[in-house]
Amino acid sequence: MEKHKSSKSRADIGIEFLVAVVIFLSAFWFIYLQSTVMLTQRIQRQDLRQPAMQLLSSVVIHDAGTPPEWTTGPNEFGLAYYDEKANHNILDETKLDYMAAQDCNDIMPRAFKGLSYSIKVSTPEESWECSSSIQKIALIERPAYVRRTSGEYEEGVIRVWAA
C-alpha cells in the first residue's frame, strides 16, 4: 500500500504562522533594544557622577576651606580640621555643626556648583548632615575622624550622595 501524499508538503508554512513569527521577533527585538538603551544611559550617568563624587569627597575631607579656621560663613567650604601638619581625614566638629544647619547647595565648593549632592558624617556618638531634598543615588563612603571641640578624636564615616 502506498501512502497518500497531500497537496501540501510538511515544509509548507502558513502565512499566518510566518506573520506571527515576524511580529514576535520584532517585539522581542524592540524590547531588547529599549532595555539596553535605558541601562546604558543609566550606567553612563552613574559613571559621570562617580569621579565627581570621589573628587568632592576628597576636597571636603582634605581641604579646611577658606579661611582655614572658619567657623561660620566660609569663602570656600571644607570640613578638614586645620593645623600646620595637614592631617588628612580629620574633620572639624565646629565645621560639621555649621554644615548640619545649612542647605547642601549653599555650602558647595565653587568647583562643584551645579552638582546636586548631600553629605552625612556619622560617628558612634553623633551624626551631621546638610539638608538636601535630593533622591540619594550615587554613594561614596570614606573613613574619617572627627576632632571634637574638646580635643578628642572620634572615628567615623563620611558619606556623599549625588542625584
| pLDDT band at 86; cut points 50, 70, 90 | low
Look at residue 44 and tell me whether its pLDDT is greater than 60: no
Give burial (CB, 10 Å; 0-12/13-18/19+) of 41: exposed
What whole-number distance in Å separates Cα of residue 10 and Cα of residue 97?
A: 81
Q: What is the mean pLDDT of the chain?
A: 78
What's the pLDDT at 7?
53
The pLDDT of 29-54, averaged and rounded, is: 69
Q: Is the pLDDT of residue 11 over 70?
A: no
